[in-house]
Amino acid sequence: MPQLERELPALDKPPSGSPPPTGPCVMVIFGGTGDLTSRKLFPALYNLVKSKLLSSDFAIVGVGRNDYTREQYQKIMGDNLDKFATSTVDPKLRDWMIQRVFYAGGEFHDPGLYARVGEILAEIDKTCNTKGNYFFYLATSPTFFGDIVDHLGAAELACEKDGHWRRVVFEKPFGNDLASAKALNRQVSKVLTEQQIFRIDHYLGKETVQNILVFRFSNGIFEPIWNRRYIDHIQITVAETVGVEKRGGYFDMAGTLRDMVPNHLFQLVSLTTMEPPISFNSTAVHDEQAKILHALQPFSEEDVLHCAVRGQYGAGVINGERVPAYKAEDGVPPDSKTETFVALRLMIDNWRWAGVPFYLRTGKRLPTRHTEVAVQFKRAPLVLFRDTPVNSLDANQLIIHIAPDEGISLRFGAKIPGAQMKVGEVEMDFNYADYFGTTANTGYEVLLYDGIMGDQTLYQRADMVEAGWTVVDPIIDVWKALAARNFPNYAAGSWGPEEATDIIARDGRSWRKISS
């Protein structure tokens, strides 16, 4: 093995107050030849290197089923980094990082693969001074999770001893229903402790999602009104313009309900509604999130019929471009009954949120890419304005914009200048980029950094995963028993099926209009 350059190339010093760099470790990526690794993980690691947040004693082992040499893999990943990086690539930093890339090829069920990985790790520990600390990232199909962990245990690669640590990151979804999630939790817990298990949800890597906690608990003006007395309802929208892209085979087995609701949407629900934790320690935060997930009212069969809507997109137009129907996508059966859109009406059965409905919607091939949490407050009484031209008052709204632009908006009424009493709606906007500048990132930087540092705050705990599936399972069962008969039921480029409008209109409310 050639001599490695030990120190990072000289860069500007990190800003004062920046977090410390990680300690020595090796990141082992199962699925090291996949899209996630090329498009997200390597660019995120490069951004951490650029920010001086990774130790100089660091290395990467890609594990895949392709028969590559180390040099071939280094060339592929170097080219992909140039292609997918979120900012201009510094050649010296790129070379420093690629020097530390290794590869092991084989089938994930083959014990011999893990023996080869172990040999590579032992060599890296000697040459890169990584001190036996290993961070395994499972960027594979979920069907491999259990087997990979079993083999890591059998090869003694997951065993923590002599002061070194071993951690395993699981990509979503963790299970495909409650029974499979429980079974997977039991299986991996035979090899790993809960402190070694990191169930990732990349939505929690977004600054605005993390800022929900800061916004709620660091401002004295909002938390006192963050309850059923003042809030009428809350809407959460996660809209995508893309279809299934190259994931047709996987997506058709999962569908939007499994793919988005128990993880992304329920994480947003829990962060928006949880009680103040006693600290930002991961256990304290998870305890409060778990309470919310357990307080979500379960769906009866009748509830599913009235409070859950599914849809599948047909052909349509998005941004002036004609796009095909879901059933015409690569890898999708022409008679597929899989949903690409979900809308839900949820209730939280606790003191703070009793009687406040939560409306969730998410789907593919919608008019614009947009993720937000919209909090609508109760209207002020009109009695004061009864002898004026004002005949209605709009409700105040607080909108937390998560993607693509991150920020917060507050909408409220103000007098329109003139002789008469007229009220108009105005908006105060906070945009992250305007106040703090932009930082090139993939959304994985914070999660990878926290994982290496052992901070589980932005990861999911076992009971949180199971609580999410407990809510979703009855919907899965009813939809399985009553197959959709009218798919496709919304055109690509629209906001979903008409039933999604009905689910909120029955309560005398409407979805917030989101402009493209």
Residues marked as catalytic: 264
Q: Which two tokens stand for residue 192?
A: 């790993």
Query: CA 251, CA 230: separation in Å to the nearest integer?
Result: 40
Between the alpha carbon of residue 105 and those of residues 65, 108, 117, the distances in Å are 5, 9, 9
Q: Are 114 and 149 contacting, i.e. CB atoms less than 8 angstroms apart?
A: no
Phi then psi dihedrals of residue 479, to 5 deg? -65, -30
- Dihedral of CA atoms 207, 213, 214, 220 in degrees, nearest 10, equals 150
- Report the distance separating Cα 1 and Cα 127, nearest Å: 8
- Sheet containing strand 197-199, strands side by side: 101-105, 58-64, 25-30, 134-138, 166-170, 197-199
Instruction: Report d(CA 221, CA 234) in Å as an integer.
Output: 18
Alpha helix (H) residue ranges in 55-144: 70-84, 91-99, 111-128
- Paired tokens of 38: 């090329």
Helices assigned H by DSSP within 190-300: 207-217, 248-260, 266-273, 282-295
Q: 405 — phi, psi (to 5°)?
A: -95, 135
Cis peptide before 367 (omega within 30 of 0): no
CB atoms within 10 A of CB 242: 12
- Residue whose C-alpha is closest to residue 114's, from 73, 72, 156, 144: 156
What is the enclosing helix (H) or strand (E) of 150?
helix 145-154
- Give alpha helix (H) positions in 437-507: 445-453, 462-481, 498-505
d(CA 356, CA 269): 13
